[in-house]
Structure 1
């Protein structure tokens, strides 16, 4: 049994006896059903020496969706990744499929006009619906379902703001929702800590590990070349085209895609200055009686709250466990030191789970941007899609298709997220030292709203 005490996070719960189940691992829950491919399964020759029509940097959802579409149209595609294939966020995220942004319709309207705001949320909706269409078309078995989402309000003021925002969105773009009053909360979640909420019925969930494993399989079948453990250190340009410089040599290409999101190397200076990587943390409980899950989350939706620094919850799609995340942006390189604090937060929300043990805890990099918006575009002839701000599965799938359409010059390559200005901040070079401070600011901001 591990005995851990973290002064930084106040993690006393991790020192309690019985925190960890006998099968505990610091490893993403999703890897049980979708283990990472061994290097020998997909490793190309030790040194890169040659060329490709398209080089994709990043083997996550965006990169593999783009690679798959391109290869099926006859392109020779090489996908490079600094880690093992699938080791990044694609097989680490929570598997929520929604159309959520930190910028509301009204905020976007005030900044850029109603037409722009509507276009943003219409494209988010297209991305949401595109995931199911893609999964169905490719016949990827990954537990995709339209389960709906319950958003729980952390205070009366949060509840009022939530309902106002959802109604404004409904009036602008027609997205349905239903209000859950405070006395009705237990019909959605066995907690007395919330002040009402809302259900958005058409949002979904997925097994991200199996989704990504399906993408790997489809890409290999289409002839995509995969190069794990290949760190990209730069892209050179000359009259003949582009050369991607890596830790294993160079590879020439007509087109280059950067799809690295929270794993963007500081060697890619222009992009690294525009994405803000930060860590997310998740835990998975031990196996629970199915009736316990039915009691604490009777509709088995995805769940999150109204804080800027959210807590989030969902049932595992392939076993009788609950998955819970929070403490985003905490300065810990591993998840085990936070496991007790995360379990404590889960039990505060769902007291029926008192004494529950954990079978997994893990972390991975997300990425935000300075304007809280995702971005797709081209810089010096290099295509990119980055900064998903918690919308990685739908927008990753969507942007992968858009990037392929741009290179193939067919289909619809347009996107409202393709803007001329991709903001950064003075003196920022890609090292997000300020993230813990920003999270504390968000906590203060949420407390201020609650008291208002």
Structure 2
């Protein structure tokens, strides 16, 4: 049986089954390295198109960030729209944002088409709250989304926000009824079963130890077997190792943290009066939602370049939670966990072609559930020669991560953001 880190999602996973590693030689048209949501979505698109495809997953399907995240499905990227527009121009920035909206639809369509709503538990709505007075900016954002994309969100003034979220920490908010939140591990495993039903192969406990990627026929070697393919897709996210050094040196594995509380439905209903997901505007902000029909609170936040799990993880996250909701000071933490996201220095997904027949699809930190979906689709379209939409991501390529200096710079930048957030909130308290 596949083993997962002890998380809320692993404890409530809908299906479990053994998927042995490859034995001997396997030949397919496309081999995907990484059984996270990017690799799974890509494989599903290819298998539906009648192509022979295999996934090599070092652990188990959805073992990494794909099965440990907050479960939020919303539009956008980790990098803000204005910054993207400065880099590539307004027209291209709009095209990228439309792709991110399509990524949301891929997830919702998949849940519907696979008939897995019972296990994936999609719930609508996301509240994006601000911790300082910023009503004018939110109104402009709402108007831009409606004008440029026909994407309607609601502006909530302070009184409305504080009636729903019983904390003085928040000022205004945008409520997005189009966004939703899900059980990401059950979603990943549902896609895996659909791939196999379409004839695709999935191998777990199948870490790739060497790769020959230069010829027309690629070869990926595991401990007990090998897979030959005409196309290879590397989709390992924050767990990318040195199999392809250029990829490993182009991203930073960033840790994020999540907890779930003990069951306390009455206490939670008093302070969080919504089943919508919630996030704030901090650079590495808090995000949370009620789970198990409102019985527990799932709370995530903080980032660090430290890839090992802090010994005081639960206490650290709990302090952040009760600083926002002091009413929950008596609530105990039942479990806490971490996961590694893949970030590039430019904060955009890294999607494209490394060379003939070799593709990469990674760098989804912070907005993974929609961007892994569109990333997997556009890479599949490229392999099928159906579209070249992957080229929209070409300006955000495989830039060097800076090595140890890059890691230190990212951590220092995060601390500076924390300081800026504190000062901004203090001025408007």
TM-score, with length taken from structure 2: 0.89
Aligned length: 422
Alignment partners' CA distance in 2, 1:160 and 1:248: 60
Alignment partners' CA distance in 2, 1:49 and 1:324: 44
Alignment partners' CA distance in 2, 1:72 and 1:108: 33
Which residue in 2 is equivalent to 1:27? 6
Which residue in 1 is equivalent to 2:320? 345
1:99 partnered with 2:75: yes
1:74 partnered with 2:50: yes
Alignment partners' CA distance in 2, 1:26 and 1:50: 29
Alignment partners' CA distance in 2, 1:341 and 1:335: 9
Alignment partners' CA distance in 2, 1:173 and 1:71: 31
Alignment partners' CA distance in 2, 1:193 and 1:419: 39
Give yes or no for contact 2:208–2:221 (8 Å, CA) kept in 1. yes
Runs of at least 5 residues in structure 1 that lack an aligned partner in the other structure: 1-24
Distance 1:170 1:71, change over 3 A: closer
Offset, 1:332: 6.0
Question: CA-atom RMSD, angstroms?
Answer: 2.6
- Helix, strand or coil at the partner of 1:376: strand
Which one of 110, 113, 116 corresponds to residue 89 of structure 2?
A: 113
- Helix, strand or coil at the partner of 1:334: coil
Alignment partners' CA distance in 2, 1:418 and 1:435: 22
Distance 1:427 1:416, change over 3 A: closer
Offset, 1:55: 0.8
Alignment partners' CA distance in 1, 2:156 and 2:297: 22
Which residue in 2 is equivalent to 1:8? none
More moved, 62-71 vs 274-283: 62-71
Alignment partners' CA distance in 2, 1:163 and 1:387: 30
Give yes or no for contact 1:56–1:259 (8 Å, CA) kept in 2. yes
1:122 partnered with 2:98: yes
Alignment partners' CA distance in 1, 2:324 and 2:127: 14
Which residue in 2 is equivalent to 1:171? 147
Alignment partners' CA distance in 1, 2:252 and 2:155: 34
Deviations 1:299-318 (A, max 9, x none): 21111111101111111155
Which residue in 2 is equivalent to 1:298? 273
Give yes or no for contact 1:82–1:231 (8 Å, CA) kept in 2. yes
Alignment partners' CA distance in 2, 1:222 and 1:26: 29
Alignment partners' CA distance in 2, 1:214 and 1:148: 23
Which residue in 2 is equivalent to 1:327? 302
Which one of 343, 350, 359 corresponds to residue 368 of structure 1?
A: 343
Which residue in 1 is equivalent to 2:381? 405
- Helix, strand or coil at the partner of 2:229: strand
Runs of at least 5 residues in structure 2 that lack an aligned partner in the other structure: none
Distance 1:78 1:145, change over 3 A: closer
Give yes or no for contact 1:69–1:401 (8 Å, CA) kept in 2. yes
TM-score, with length taken from structure 1: 0.85
Aligned pairs for 1:155-170 within 5 A: 155-156=132-133, 160-170=136-146
Which residue in 1 is equivalent to 2:361? 385
Alignment partners' CA distance in 1, 2:128 and 2:167: 13
Which residue in 1 is equivalent to 2:198? 222
